């Protein structure tokens, strides 16, 4: 499905064809926005082939050129044994074990001239789809970037936590 915002055409597609996505991803990646290795095609292709997550590809085009890409894993969170929340997780599966290899400085892959506006257009498109999700989760995003998004989206919240693991060394 394609949605049009003021400056961007947003496409949301389920389980994209990797052979087609590869070229679009590498072209945008070459334009560079300073993201980590975890945003490279090599990493993304490996992640998609290894875990085979159920994903949505969200892409933004500006004047016919792809300027933003994000892969959202679809998952369900159950809180307090009764509250179900359909989640879309940027570059995550929703499985805690699989997501231990998290993307550092998580964000959309964007053309540097369109980072803010294209990301907002993509998130707006996701939020405006009826029954698509209850929550959008972007883990491990840079704090300053998260704060800008929190200002833009009125119902957004921030949770600064991560699981901790311990081992009893006295055994």
Indicate the range of 2-11, 15-24, 60-69, 95-104 predicted with least confidence: 2-11
Rg (CA), the chain: 16
Q: What is the pLDDT of residues 111-124, one digit of tens each?
A: 999 999 999 999 99
Which CATH number covers residue 6? 3.40.630
Q: What is the pLDDT of residues 91-147, one digit of tens each?
A: 999 888 888 887 888 999 999 999 999 999 999 999 998 889 899 999 888 888 888
Per this entry, what is the length of the chain? 171
pLDDT band at 50 (very low <50, low <70, confident <90, very high): very high
Question: For residue 166, is it within any domain?
Answer: no
> What is the 3-state composition of the chain as percent helix, strand, coil, each rounded to the nearest 5?
30, 25, 40
| SS3 state of residue 160 | coil
pLDDT of residue 2: 53
Question: For residue 157, is it within any domain?
Answer: no
Question: For residue 164, is it within any domain?
Answer: no
pTM of the model: 0.86
What H or E segment, with its residue span, contains residue 75? strand 65-79
pLDDT higher at 94 or 162: 94
Contact (Cβ atoms closer than 8 angstroms) between residue 88 and residue 136:
yes
Question: For residue 170, is it within any domain?
Answer: no
Residue ranges making up the domain that contains 124:
2-152
pLDDT at position 52 over 60: yes
The domain tally of the chain equals: 1
Question: For residue 77, is it within any domain?
Answer: yes
Question: For residue 167, is it within any domain?
Answer: no
């Amino acid at each position: 499905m394609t949605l049009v915002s003021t400056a961007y055409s947003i496409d949301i597609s389920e389980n994209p064809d990797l052979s087609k996505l590869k070229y679009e991803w590498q072209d945008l990646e070459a334009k560079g926005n300073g993201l980590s290795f975890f945003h490279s095609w090599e990493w993304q292709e490996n992640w998609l082939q290894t875990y085979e997550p159920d994903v949505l590809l969200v892409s933004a085009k500006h004047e016919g050129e792809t300027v933003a890409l994000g892969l959202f894993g679809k998952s369900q969170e159950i809180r307090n044994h009764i509250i179900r929340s359909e989640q879309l997780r940027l570059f995550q599966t929703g499985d805690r074990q699989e997501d231990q290899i998290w993307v550092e400085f998580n964000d959309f892959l964007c053309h540097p001239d369109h980072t803010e506006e294209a990301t907002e257009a993509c998130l707006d498109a996701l939020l405006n789809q009826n029954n698509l999700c209850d929550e959008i989760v972007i883990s491990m995003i840079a704090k300053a970037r998260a704060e800008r998004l929190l200002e833009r989206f009125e119902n957004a919240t921030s949770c600064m936590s991560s699981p901790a693991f311990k081992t009893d060394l006295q055994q």
